[in-house]
Amino acid sequence: MMRRFYPEGHEILLKKGGRATIEFISIENLPTLLPANHYDLLTRRIANASIGAKTMEVSLVLMEPKGRADPHTHEDAEQLFIVLKGEMAIKTDREEVRLKQGEAAFIYPGEAHQNYNVIDRETEYLIITGRLTHL
């Protein structure tokens, strides 16, 4: 087995013949970014097209106490929010739910939504995005 480093924080394990079999990702070494129309939070993209993912994106988000995202939609994607630590709210045009550690919410494609921290400390969560088309 041979290791080859790819994007920052990612490492591909190669079998004989050069075909990638597994991707090792050091999450703490991934760069942080702030998506457009999101505030007081940092995102680390764990998996997306940069590592060869075809229809899935996974991000780890650390949201500050006043962190939030403006209302937005993903016409071509569904999203699953999983709270790892803290609490957050997700609001759509029809309802608002509050999520605590160990809880999750699924957002259907095209559903306008926003999320925000509801406590006075950081909230950490995963966003798993499934694209309806290839990335």
Taking only the tens place, the pLDDT of each residue in 42-59 is 999 999 988 888 899 999
Domain boundaries, the chain: 1-30, 32-131
CA distance readout (Å), 133 to 52, 59, 78, 81, 82 = 14, 18, 11, 20, 23
Phi, psi for residue 50 in degrees, rounded to 5: -65, -20
Average pLDDT over residues 98-111: 97
> Cα-Cα-Cα-Cα dihedral of 90, 67, 37, 48, to 10°?
-80
| pLDDT for res 4 | 47
32-131: CATH topology = Jelly Rolls (2.60.120)
pTM of the model: 0.84
